[in-house]
Structure 1
Amino acid sequence: MKIIISVIILLVSGQLAFGQSREKKIDSICQAIQNKNPKVGISIGFIDNGKEYFINYGEISRESDLKVDENTVYEIGSITKLLTANLIVQAQDEGKLKVDDFIDNYLPKEYILSEKLKGKLKISDLASHQSGLPDFDFGKLIKLNPKQPLNIKKETIHSIINDSTKLSDYGNYRYSNISYVLMGIMLENIYSKSFDKLIKEKILVPSKMNNTLTTDFNVKNKVIGYDINGVQQDYFVWNSLFASAGLLKSNTFDMSKLLKTLLSNKGKIGKATSVTEKTFYKNTLMEIGFGQEIERNGNDTFFYKAGDTFSCSSIFAYDKKSNWGIVIMINHKNSDLIRELINTIYEQVLR
């Protein structure tokens, strides 16, 4: 399995008893890994043939005795992109755009593409990270605002879009936050609504994701997050410009509802997966859809998206053929630990 490439599968010690349910096996794996990382809060939501299971280990912070549970809120970072991509396809289904359209006519008037870029970039290029546009200089943003580097201003985006005269490696994969920021801007422009209102109206409310948070995340049952060195970190504040690229906060209870919706193919959200799950880019190492990656293992195909912030790491994955879905959240920026969890679970339980 190469759900996140170049990772050695780490197997938990001991043999899982034959005949255990998949949920029990996942629980055993989570417990063993959490025992090796006792300071980390771990929450898992698992859908197995339509049935929901929730597995939780650890506390909401290193200073608290309060245990994490399925209602505990974490930052989900770039998993937000999966929802943004779904909104784009819903807009296509409503006749607002076509994913193969060039982006020129969907941007607000203050965004002016150079003559060399006009009629060049498609919406699908943005969604599959093939635009070649220059991305944000995060080193510079961190120097300007170490605690809240994503609190960007319109001028920053203008300088990237309006001043760009060439595309680097257009048509090749290069992970891009600016592409998803632009998709959010385009959605706001065509609907004349804020991204906050759109995502609530078209995804959160229909899916009954009542505790997935946008502008206001001042809730009690949320984790305190820590960076890779164990230093406590603030959550990213909601910035209307960067929101569509990675600023949602959620819990495993809500994200499991979204998994069930995607697995069912029902409703506008489920219908949109007919496009988001298509291959828009492929090389020998990866296969990319809209807002997510695609993994093939023999005759099996599953989809996934990972998210990292300064304080949390997470992953969201599902397999329609085998009818499972899983979301894993930890209160520690540690993509290696997320890889260990998802790879071990997949190899020992789901494949």
Structure 2
Amino acid sequence: MKSYNFGLIVCLSVFCIFGAPAQTPINSVQETIKTQVKSRIDNNYSVGTVVAFFESGKETYFTYGYANADKKQVILPQSVFEIGSISKTFTSLLLADLVQKKGIRLEDSVEKYLPDSVKIPSFNGRKITFADLATHTSGLPRMPTNIVPKNPENPYVDYGVKELYVFLKTAQLQNGMGNYNYSNVGVGLLGHVLTRISGESYEQLLQNVICTPLKMNETSTLNSSTWLTTGHVDNKPVAHWDFDIMAGAGAIRSNAEDLMRYLRAELDLSAGASAGAMKQSQQPLHVVDSTLKMALGWHITAAANDEIYWHNGGTGGYRAFAGFSQKSNKAIVILNNSTQSVDDLGMCFFNPSVTIIPSKKPLILPKQAMQSFVGTYKIEPKLELEITLENNQLFAKMTGEAIVPVYPETETKLFCREVNATIDFFWNDKGEFDKLILDLNGDKMPAMRK
């Protein structure tokens, strides 16, 4: 099976799909999301999805599909999913809790809480702080450069503290420090340092600080829940992901009911054991651009005269989205046990003018026709798009981005299910594809075959 990527997801392309505010009735928006969920599952984009809505003071759930494609187990609000990088908001909340209770400061150097033998990179004499790690401004890369999993289907299970410390000694900061550079290893390091300060494991911290007080009984980093669903790639079951030292970056499994408790607690900051920490974790600390800020773990996107706090997540066979708005007092959780992104549906809940990825049925082509797409196409001097074919499945990979499956829409056009993208190919006089136009959220990028 094709190994997709080790990323736990934040899809920056979602930032550019906001349009002008639209006045749409509440029920209409929810029905649009439900219709899209049904369409994607009916067209084999996904296997099973749970959506939790909180709006106008009312909490409702919608489920469709299966917990396991082979066994046809019906999916329920209690069904548990891997939530990937949404775990980062929990890790940042644990940080805020320690700031409130233990007297550490967001401006403290992380290095002083590591063994004396462990050195981490600095920039112009400035050391990486807790705030840097939680806002993705440390300059650390997205992934540790020394992660070489024995089993690519479960890439984090054998990456431990020894490997992390080796990486830190030689790590190179990207874009210096102080610029947004999404980093899984940065938040993995953050989770590890929090366990050293507290003297508890990441699972113990998670349960004691967040899950037990909020009665999130099905939320854990362990694979022990009887409600645990199966992840899928192209509707085929795949292995669950397990974590060691990188737990803080994406190890949590949860269900829609628990995550809605979490988001409603984020909306109600008047009481509760974590209210002070949640309030601190929502404070904007870094401005990325005119529409995006970073709080502790949360991305804050400005749209439709509102500010949306959100995070997405993805593991080998899952995608997830969680978001809330203090201004409109509403929240949404979408959990999906396949690699079909749900970011567009999550954002649509807050702004109905968001472009929704259309559901399309792939055109079945013979292998020779599929092979004709294969090649490397140059968009810019340092930006290329590579099309590959493996086991009768086409894949696309742009420089610096994750590899994604693509599907024939016509004999000269491919489409992507994970983002709103199509690729039009053009024949030369020899009957070969020699150029293409990539359309990514309406941004058209021509490229020539190398």
Tell me the distance in 1 between the aligned counterparts of 2:63 and 2:108. 44
Say which of 117, 132, 139 aligns to 2:139: 132
Aligned to 1:282: 287
Q: Please state how far the C-alpha of 1:214 moved relative to its aligned partner.
A: 1.8
Tell me the distance in 2 between the aligned counterparts of 1:234 and 1:47. 32
Q: 1:238 to 1:150 in 2, by over 3 A?
A: closer
2:324 aligned partner, one-letter code? Y
Say which of 267, 272, 278 aligns to 1:273: 278
Say which of 39, 48, 71 aligns to 2:78: 71
Q: Please state how far the C-alpha of 1:7 moved relative to its aligned partner.
A: 4.3
What secondary structure is seen at the aligned counterpart in 2 of 1:81? Answer: helix
Matches within 5 A, 1:94-243: 94-113=101-120, 119-137=126-144, 140-142=147-149, 144-151=150-157, 152-164=159-171, 168-215=175-222, 217-227=223-233, 229-239=234-244, 241-243=245-247
Q: Please state how far the C-alpha of 1:234 moved relative to its aligned partner.
A: 0.7
Q: Deviations over 1:122-154 (max 9, x none)?
A: 211111101112443479524x32122102022
Q: 1:41 to 1:53 in 2, by over 3 A?
A: same
Aligned to 1:347: 351
Instruction: Confirm or deny: 8 A CA contact 2:292 2:302 kept in the other structure.
Output: no
1:294 aligned partner, one-letter code? I
What secondary structure is seen at the aligned counterpart in 2 of 1:141? Answer: coil
Normalising by structure 1, report the TM-score: 0.86
Q: 1:346 to 1:138 in 2, by over 3 A?
A: farther
Q: Please state how far the C-alpha of 1:39 moved relative to its aligned partner.
A: 4.8
Tell me the distance in 2 between the aligned counterparts of 1:92 and 1:19. 39
Structure 2 runs not aligned, ≥5 long: 1-11, 355-450
Q: Please state how far the C-alpha of 1:177 moved relative to its aligned partner.
A: 1.2
What secondary structure is seen at the aligned counterpart in 2 of 1:101? Answer: coil
Tell me the distance in 2 between the aligned counterparts of 1:238 and 1:257. 25
Tell me the distance in 1 between the aligned counterparts of 2:131 and 2:204. 23
2:219 aligned partner, one-letter code? T
Instruction: Confirm or deny: 8 A CA contact 1:106 1:186 kept in the other structure.
Output: yes
User: More helix per residue: 1 or 2?
Assistant: 1
2:274 aligned partner, one-letter code? I
Q: 1:110 to 1:36 in 2, by over 3 A?
A: same
Residue 252 of structure 2 corresponds to residue 245 of structure 1: no
What secondary structure is seen at the aligned counterpart in 2 of 1:189? Answer: helix
Instruction: Confirm or deny: 8 A CA contact 2:46 2:340 kept in the other structure.
Output: no
| Structure exhibiting the larger radius of gyration computed from Cα positions | 2
Aligned to 2:393: none
Tell me the distance in 2 between the aligned counterparts of 1:106 and 1:166. 20
Aligned to 1:297: 303
Q: Please state how far the C-alpha of 1:33 moved relative to its aligned partner.
A: 4.3
CA RMSD of aligned residues (A): 2.8
Aligned to 1:5: 15
Q: Please state how far the C-alpha of 1:274 moved relative to its aligned partner.
A: 2.4
Identity of aligned residues (%): 24
Q: Deviations over 1:69-105 (max 9, x none)?
A: 1100110001000000011011111133111222232
Structure number with the bigger relative contact order (C-alpha 8 A, sep ≥ 6) is: 1
Normalising by structure 2, report the TM-score: 0.68
Instruction: Confirm or deny: 8 A CA contact 2:83 2:252 kept in the other structure.
Output: yes
Q: 1:117 to 1:237 in 2, by over 3 A?
A: farther
Q: Please state how far the C-alpha of 1:226 moved relative to its aligned partner.
A: 1.2
Tell me the distance in 1 between the aligned counterparts of 2:116 and 2:57. 46
Aligned to 1:59: 66
Aligned residues: 336
User: More strand per residue: 1 or 2?
Assistant: 2
Residue 311 of structure 2 corresponds to residue 312 of structure 1: no
Instruction: Confirm or deny: 8 A CA contact 1:141 1:150 kept in the other structure.
Output: no
What secondary structure is seen at the aligned counterpart in 1 of 2:351? Answer: helix
Q: Please state how far the C-alpha of 1:30 moved relative to its aligned partner.
A: 3.4
Q: 1:212 to 1:42 in 2, by over 3 A?
A: same
Q: 1:130 to 1:66 in 2, by over 3 A?
A: same
Q: Please state how far the C-alpha of 1:341 moved relative to its aligned partner.
A: 2.0
Structure 1 runs not aligned, ≥5 long: 10-15
Aligned to 1:257: 261
What secondary structure is seen at the aligned counterpart in 2 of 1:304? Answer: strand
Aligned to 2:100: 93
Instruction: Confirm or deny: 8 A CA contact 1:314 1:329 kept in the other structure.
Output: yes
Q: Please state how far the C-alpha of 1:327 moved relative to its aligned partner.
A: 0.6
Q: Please state how far the C-alpha of 1:332 moved relative to its aligned partner.
A: 0.5
Aligned to 1:45: 52
Instruction: Confirm or deny: 8 A CA contact 2:77 2:257 kept in the other structure.
Output: yes
Q: 1:149 to 1:323 in 2, by over 3 A?
A: same
